Amino acid sequence: MTGFLDMYSEKDTFLHRLDPRVKLLAVVLISVLAFILAELLYLVVLLCFILLLLVLARSSYGKAFFALKFVIRFMILITMLWPLFDRSGTPILFSVGPLDITEPAVWRGATSAVRVGCFATVWYILMFTTSQRDLVRALVKLGLRFDYGLALAISFRFIPTFGLTIESIKDAQRARALELDKGSILRRSRNYVSILVPTIVYALRTADTLALTLQSRAYGAFSSRTYLREIRMRASDYIALTVVVLILLLPALAKYIYGVQI
């Protein structure tokens, strides 16, 4: 379960150095672009561009494979299912019983699959190259209240710890001959109480301790706080920002102002 949480890896690439706000904006704009583009060819180009970024982010093969596995499965599923539900257009490629598989539907399915692929993969780049700390910092800088930012950071931080504790609780109850997947539904749900109660107690105790720890480190003592590491836009960040905006703006202009089919 930690697979999705420890995607960030410490590297030194331009994507890692980029201001997290610019990255966040870039990801949003590229996602929008994936919805503006309608032609399969251009979407494939966009997907290749995103994959290129993924390579440039020098993400480890293991993590990239883990992440892309889900995307690829999803893309295959869309390509296969789309023609089954969309029966418009001609020519009919072949018929299976009452089902007519038409050529335009197959293309539409593939287009949607690639679009979803772009949309999902681009967010992975953000997760691969931005530490949770930086992400929260960017959100706070963009106007999120610090309290919420901190709460977000803490919940990210505690998910793996929680996972480990729940595993330990499960083991402790299994050592008392608890069999979670045996018996009637009633029995099973009662069995889960023996996991749930220690988990909740642990969560409450942790929250209590955490609150004391924060207070003892003067959290909330002043309404305005300073930050150890300020994020500041550098020249390269502005360049990247311009490039990203153009990447969205040019195709959007071409499509909506000049009516180019893309």
Partner 1 sequence: MIFLRDAKFTYESGVEALKGVTLVIDEGEYLAVVGGNGSGKTTLAKHLNGLLRPTGGQVLVMGVQASTRTVAELARIVGYVFQNPDHQLFCRTVYDEVSFGPANIGLEEQEVRRRADRAIEVMNLSDVRERPPLSLTLGLRRRVSIASVIAMEPQVLVLDEPTTGLDAREADELMVIIRKLNDEGTTIVLITHEMKLVAEHANRVVVMMDGRIVLDSDTRGAFSDLGLLKRSKLLPPPVTQLAHRLSQIGVSNDILTPQELVFELTRGDDP
Residues binding partner 1 (CB under 8 A): 165, 168-169, 171-179, 193-194, 196-198, 201-202, 205
Task: Give me the least distance between CB of 171 and partner 1, in Å please.
Answer: 5
Beta carbon of residue 182, minimum distance to partner 1 (angstroms, whole number) = 8
Which residue's CB is nearer to partner 1, number 92 or number 200? 200
| Cα separation values, 96 from 83, 91, 93, 144, 233, Å | 12, 15, 10, 54, 58
Cβ nearer to partner 1, comparing 39 with 179:
179
Residues 254, 262 contacting (CB under 8 angstroms) = yes
Question: What is the rounded distance in angstroms from the CA atom of residue 23 to the CA atom of residue 18?
Answer: 7
The smaller minimum CB distance to partner 1, of residues 52 and 180, is found at: 180
User: Which of 12, 42, 26, 47 shows the shortest CA–CA distance to 239?
Assistant: 26
Q: How far is the CB of 176 from partner 1 (least distance, A)?
A: 4
Strand partners, 99: 96
**Rounded least distance, CB 122 to partner 1, Å:** 29
AA identity, residue 118: C
Contact between residue 18 and residue 128 where contact means Cβ atoms under 8 Å apart:
no
What CA–CA distances, in Å, run from 3 to 65, 148, 163? 11, 24, 12
- Decide if 87 contacts 105 (C-beta within 8 A): yes
Smallest separation (angstroms) from partner 1 to the CB of 92: 49
Of the pair 145, 205, the CB lying nearest partner 1 is at 205
User: Smallest distance from the beta carbon of 2 to partner 1, in angstroms?
Assistant: 9
Question: Is 8 in contact with 127 (CB distance < 8 Å)?
Answer: yes
Return d(Cα 68, Cα 123) in angstroms, integer. Answer: 11
Nearer Cβ to partner 1 (103/167): 167
Cβ nearer to partner 1, comparing 168 with 213: 168
Give the helix/strand (H/E) hosting 101.
strand 99-102
